[in-house]
Amino acid sequence: MEMNNLDLSVSLSGVQLQNPVIPASGCFGFGYGMAEFYDIDCLGSISFKGTTRDARFGNPLPRVAECAAGMINSVGLQNPGIDAVIAEELPKMREAFHQPIIANISGFSIDEYVECCEKIDKEDQVAIIELNVSCPNVHGGGMSFGTSCESVGEVVKEVKKVITKPLYVKLTPNVTDIVAIGRSAVEAGADGLCLINTMLGMRIDIKTRRPVIANRMGGFSGPAVFPIAVRMVNQVAHSCGVPVIGCGGVTTAADVIEMMMAGATAVEVGAANLVNPYACKEIIDSLPHEMSRLGISSLTDIIGIV
């Protein structure tokens, strides 16, 4: 199969990407820092660092714990706040990156989500808004918005009232029924879904007899979660009727193809970037060879075939 004739392009709710590979939020900053390593215009898109209304320093140190097949992090949404992102980060990002941008928005109340999404929706650089519903709801007893069908539906409904861009909801896997949560988001107006966010994990330093991470627990990611992510993407993609961005433990071009066969239209790469800053570039470079080997002429042909 001629590699020059292979079609790597995909479409997310009308937003055209030259390929399906997207660095996941929190693992690539605002992109321009990575432009020192390679031409980041090769990427399909970038989901930039999770942004909240106010600037956040994040959680106390230490924030990271190593695991055999992944890592645990509890960074705590460190970011300069929505106004600084719009005024300072987006212009610098656009200088280095000329493909569609995904804005990852987080919040601790519905009002905060609405305010941040309304502001970022006005920015021409942003093509898609990715709603992180894994934040604790300060007005709901501290439970994550994304662990309840009612709360995820409520926040999506309110955000959709103030935006014009496609809205993708990033789902937490720390639930008993991922399909029910996905359906609630879609019924409330979500244009697409992204999953999975990190799983909840913990490590203990057996010498000091204390948790490794100051916050005790954190988000577990890396190759170990890949089979869980594939399973959840498959369930949601075949049950919810909207495009899905697959995420969780992706490290190779073969992983991208497997995730797309499960039902993902595009694929986010997270922890792999922290291990190898060239991870996304290497995956993109390898995709045509993997497609040729498997007899795939167009990636859209394999979306959800399993």
For residue 302, how many C-alpha atoms fall within 13 Å in the half-sphere facing its CB? 20
Tell me how far apart the alpha carbons of residues 144 and 185 are, in angstroms, rounded to a whole number: 14
Say what the alpha-carbon torsion angle 105, 141, 162, 187 is, to the nearest 10 degrees. 100
Instruction: Specify whether the CB–CB gap between 278 and 37 falls below 8 A.
Output: yes
Q: Which pLDDT score is estimated for 134?
A: 84
- Residue 38 carries which DSSP code? S
Q: Which pLDDT score is estimated for 69?
A: 94
Instruction: Specify whether the CB–CB gap between 10 and 89 falls below 8 A.
Output: no
Q: Which pLDDT score is estimated for 4?
A: 75
Paired residues of 220 in beta bridges: 72, 199
What is this structure's pTM?
Answer: 0.96
Instruction: Specify whether the CB–CB gap between 94 and 124 falls below 8 A.
Output: no
Lookup result for tokens 């941040």: 116
Residue 135 bears catalytic tag:
yes
Q: Where are the beta strands (DSSP E) in the chain?
A: 10-12, 15-17, 21-23, 46-47, 64-67, 70-73, 101-105, 126-132, 167-170, 192-195, 199-202, 204-205, 210-211, 217-221, 244-247, 266-269
Structure tokens at 116: 């941040």
Lookup result for tokens 């990156």: 97
Residue 25's alpha-carbon distances to 12, 83, 103, 203, in angstroms, are 17, 18, 9, 23
Task: Output the CATH code of domain 3-58+77-200+220-302.
Answer: 3.20.20.70
Residues 27, 116, 135, 194: which is the catalytic one? 135
Residue 305's alpha-carbon distances to 166, 182, 237, in angstroms, are 25, 20, 11
- Distance from CA of residue 170 to its chain's centroid? 6
Say what the alpha-carbon torsion angle 122, 123, 129, 135 is, to the nearest 10 degrees. -90
Q: Which helix (H) or strand (E) holds 152?
A: helix 149-160
Question: Domain ranges in the chain?
Answer: 3-58+77-200+220-302
Q: Which pLDDT score is estimated for 139?
A: 73
pLDDT along the chain (306 residues), means of 10: 86 98 97 96 98 95 95 94 98 97 96 98 97 79 84 97 98 96 98 96 97 94 98 98 98 98 98 96 98 98 98
